[in-house]
Structure 1
């Protein structure tokens, strides 16, 4: 779950009172129909080697959902039975946020963040599992951390392996999206590795967070959530995207505007009952790329629910949600 500071909350409250073009725009696709346990926040989804799908999310001790077909989802408890003790260094409740699941080296890797609202005293941790199923995870502690003296916030991890290297994008407010190289054997940040800057906005509170990076063709695509999360029907979250020929950037949108200067093509925004679309991740299944995200259901008191759409790619290589 994304946690802006006080300045961010005040700025977002003003924005929430203003009409947005997204509210009137009818061109964005509705999420595909799902049934069962739909309540979710910041979903990360993967197809399991054993069959079916698992989605992990903010809430609980990393909440879990299982599905056989991406349509019907059932509650599957939590990744962990209890919070690892080190989480309490970063908040009083041992509450983890915004997980990211991937598979490599014969096992599943689950990255997640622990922090508290309005603070960048934050850390990203990692756990591994032979099956990827809830209750099978072994925690391995901190991967990377940030302190109040840093200009970034170590939450919202997203992994990408490319060209023999392992990278982690992360970031929320505090000048936006960053990236650091990880050690492939430990899954933790390489000692002394530089922190790359991928995206920000020219105006405080730099409301961009929740990165996810995928490769399509010769480009890397950075998906990120912009504006205000976590306010139910007053949320203004939306998903933007840019691309680069290098995983570390620079990323630009389709007009050539750098994401470090506030650029980013609008991929999906709130419309109708589907408010505040964001907290996204991209996964591969059934021969397609899929976009998973949460939205706040305006017809159900702003309850956060699972959104799924297929991603299609234009002839010139830009993603479109369908």
Structure 2
């Protein structure tokens, strides 16, 4: 996104004040709570264009109200397709003026990981609720700064782990909590696809590239919610089969996690080959999902033949509706910033292990 073009932003409509005389207080009209929250997407790449924007046409509790882009040529198509008002179109120079726009309740940051912290913090400082795509940020310190900004400004911060909103995944978490199949002993989980692009931010280290930040957080997060525990140590190895493309970052990473009580997880993520499966072996049986993190069609079974294939219309729509409802009801979001921070703490340990070639304890 270093070559984002800039343009003159549209003027904003400010909030108007309401003057009240001393005898008018009895006639004050309390504003009705919004039936739907207005969402502004920041970054109009593939995930926003092909997944989030269409999903926002299916949501019940929120809608696409605005966009933020550094590419002016994208604006006409988005405005025409989604009926976005001129005053709700922003660029990266006038981004902070979102604070003055009552149409926008939530800012959804859909940028390369290196930009997550900055634009999430600025969104919180603008007084807007923040949804941030995974991975949350580049470091534990950045994650904490995002949490602090949200708390300071009294707004919600949610991380885009859509799988934790998905019904079959929720069932997996219930199995662990209720010990339906006994104590979790081992989780085996892998996620990957063959990335054909050769000049994408995913190959640039400074922008948050590398498979661990992108696909790697799927098996990492799954290992954590499948065990209900935080890992205490990791051993990792990074590799590539295409060094001409993946010379700054890893194409594939394999990492083994150790949990309190003896549970383990064998995890893998890759930009070099397709894989998408999770199996949880317990003391009294097992259960698995394959695929476990696809955009649709999550499917699974248990050792005693129970099918795990409850359908869902749209994962992204479910995620955003859940988060919007939490905001409107002033309840805790399902996947807060603290959850994203816990993953990034482990990601940093994984990279240390891959670099040094040994077991790394996680404090």
Under a length normalisation based on structure 1, what TM-score does the superposition of the two structures give? 0.30
Whose strand proportion is higher, 1 or 2? Answer: 1
Q: TM-score, normalised by structure 2?
A: 0.28
Considering Cα pairs closer than 8 Å and 6+ residues apart, tell me whether 1 or 2 has the greater RCO.
2
| Bigger Rg over Cα | 2
